[in-house]
Amino acid sequence: MSYLELSGVRQTYGAHRAVDDIDLSIERSELVAILGPSGSGKTTLLRIIGGFVRPTAGTVVLDGVDITHRPPQRRRMGMVFQAYALFPNLSAADNVAFGLRVARRPRAEIAARVRELLEMVDLGEKGDRYPHQLSGGEQQRVALARALAPSPQVLLLDEPLSALDARIRLFLRQEIRRIQRQLGITTVYVTHDQEEALALADRVVVMNRGQVEQIGTPADIYGHPSTAFVAAFVGAMNRLQATVQDPSRGLLTIDGQTLETGHLPPGIAAGASVQVLLRPERITAASDGGANHLTGTVDEVGFLGATVRVRLRLKEQACSMDVVYDPERELPRPGDRLQVFVPPSALQTLHDEEAAAAAAAPLLG
Amino acid sequence: MGHVRARSRPSAGALAVLGLAVIFFVLPLAATVQFSLQHGSQAITLAPYQEIVSDPLFWGSLQFSVTMALLTIVLGMLVVVPAAYWVRLRLPQAHGVVEFICLLPFVVPGVVLAIGLARAYGSGNAGPLSNFQVLLVGAYTVLSLPFLFRAVDSGLRAIDVRTLTEAALSLGAGWPAVLWRVVLPNIRAGLLAGAFLVFAIVLGEYTIASLLGFSTLGVYTELEGAAHAHAAAALVVLSFALVWSCIGLMQIVSGGGTRMLEGGGAR
Ligand SMILES: Nc1ncnc2c1ncn2[C@@H]1O[C@H](COP(=O)(O)OP(=O)(O)O)[C@@H](O)[C@H]1O
Ligand SMILES: [Mg+2]
């Protein structure tokens, strides 16, 4: 049995299912990211774990003990909120000391622990500042230290970085990961930012409309999305309309060009129409005389820094590819004819019902 | 810049309004002070003040009124703070209803309230409320609801009640600790403002106290005014000074925390 187990957890508001029959097992010391668009039920799920919401159905088991009906103040779970959660009347040090004071720890122990934690989040000198005298990033570091001070069994974070600047967000993300590893604390991290989830988590839970779409390592989620929604939500993705040409050899045609794929749904007939998913970075420059080439006209060239995104117009459809930026080499220009190579393993096909669901999700143009 | 100039050279209209306000507030006060010190064209004398200060009835009524005011503040806070807090935390949809209920004392005239209370509870079989002192504190608490609720609620609006509460709970704080350590300290300015208003209202209240037969400061002032005009004027000046020293005191008490914060901000 895992350290933290959710079984059949459901939360309904009227007829609306904010969290819909979720099963989730989290191991000790693991960092699990809950990833999903706004309104997908991430916060509700986290609040159920923290005890702020009693689930309509299902159980929450921590270390073998059913805590579904245990109030939050007796769960020993540290919580970090998006913003504005520090006690405004208390200094940073007193904020960190709060949990220890209400637990009536001895004075000397509190002082030592507060110092230790403020140093861990690199705020050793700013203990006597009040929240309004700290930057957003500093406030979130104090909030993390405060949540960790009473040595909780589980750490819960609800989009803790989403109110911060991009640069600080990147830095703090690494800090959170470092501290989480150092303490080995079981952590549930809610975010709508797929990059953050992939960079931080041991495992990612992708949620959509209150349900789990996929649970897996960041590499799994990115490399082998198991549903159309995950494919569309995590990372940039081309979605192309194709016709099955020869199911036995895995051949299909996209705008009249024949390509081989390693992932054709079993039992599909020739002539069937399928949707094909293709990551822009899997497309590379064509090797001479090889198979699986795609030819098109450069439509648009977008400079992204380390990479350049080139949009290739086939006939009816367009397809984006990422090339590593190399100042020594000339970039393709709009109007150029270009031939590119598509590895058969990079072409993933979708069943019809999945394709319909994917059509609702935002995708690369 | 425009803002600074506007400040250093107010417009003629603003000056006129300010002047009218000063006349409106200061003239009666100055006249009262003058009347309390002088009989007609005679020499200035402190005799009316001596008369008041040496009257044991004055001290008795002052003590009684202050006691009533403090009890009202405590009882009112005990009712209003948890209610306003819970509404903000769990029943935001009930906010309008609660606010309306708290405003009701404004529509019921004091005479009606006093007579109604005396008839309802005065029969002697209404438990502790048959005691008119208890009844008086209860009536004052009801009277102060609009002021207390407004003051406490605006204090609560300024903080993120739900997030702070959940943060405290997740840190292991029970409900009493959440209220005492998190909610109250963060709405202290609102609490003090509400407490001051209640103090001033109770000290000056006449209708209910006199109908229930108590000699509060308000009742004493009325009786004194009927009997000794100059002494009554002195009494008004005294209570005015008392109320303003209360304001000053509360500014100092509540300013302590604010100044500490601002001092830190300059670092
Ligand atoms: N207290 C509530 N009452 C009614 N609906 C709610 C409540 N809390 C959340 N919801 C609804 O549940 C859904 C999921 O919300 P939430 O868990 O906050 O999503 P997320 O954190 O992924 O953005 C949303 O549609 C939201 O409107
Ligand atoms: Mg959320």
Convert the pLDDT of each residue in A259-287 to its tens digit: 988 877 777 888 888 888 889 989 987 76
Report the C-alpha gap between B63 and B165 in whole angstroms. 39
What per-residue confidence (pLDDT) applies to B261? Answer: 39
Does some domain include residue B267? no
Domain edges within chain A: 4-231, 237-358
ipTM: 0.83
Residue with the smallest CA separation from ligand 1 atom 12 is: A18
Report the C-alpha gap between A244 and A250 in whole angstroms. 8
What per-residue confidence (pLDDT) applies to A24? Answer: 96
Q: Which of A49, A52, A89, A134 to probe the B interface (max B CBs under 10 A)?
A: A89
pLDDT at B61 over 50: yes
Identify all chain A residues contacting B167, using CB atoms and an 8 Å cutoff: 79, 81, 85-87, 143, 146
CATH number at residue B74: 1.10.3720.10
Write the residue in A89, A130, A146 that is nearest to B171 by C-beta. Answer: A146
Ligand 1 centre and the CA of A51: distance in Å? Answer: 16
pLDDT at A172 over 90: yes
Write the residue in A71, A89, A132 that is nearest to B186 by C-beta. Answer: A89
Q: Which fold has domain A237-358?
A: OB fold (Dihydrolipoamide Acetyltransferase, E2P) (2.40.50)
Most confident of A142-146, A236-240, A336-340: A142-146
Does some domain include residue B236? no
Report the C-alpha gap between B235 and A171 in whole angstroms. 67
Write the residue in B166, B182, B267 that is nearest to A79 by C-beta. Answer: B166
Does some domain include residue B208? yes
Ligand 2 centre and the CA of A39: distance in Å? Answer: 7
A4-231 and A237-358, same CATH topology: no
Q: Which residues contact B67 (CB under 8 A, 6 or more apart)?
A: none
Residue B134: which domain range?
Answer: 60-227
Confidence tier at A359 by pLDDT (50, 70, 90):
low
Looking at the complex, report in whole angstroms how far the Cα of residue A264 sits from the nearest Cα belonging to chain B: 49
In chain A, residues 26-55 whose CB comes closer than 8 Å to chain B: 50-52
Does some domain include residue B113? yes
Query: What does the mean pLDDT of chain A come to?
Result: 90
Does some domain include residue B247? no
Number of domains present in the structure of chain B: 1
Whether A40 lines ligand 1, by a CB cut-off of 6 Å, is yes
What is the average per-residue pLDDT within B136-165? Answer: 91
What per-residue confidence (pLDDT) applies to A352? Answer: 57
* Ligand found nearest the CA of A158: 2
Two tokens, residue B267: 């670092």
Q: Which CATH architecture has domain A4-231?
A: 3-Layer(aba) Sandwich (3.40)
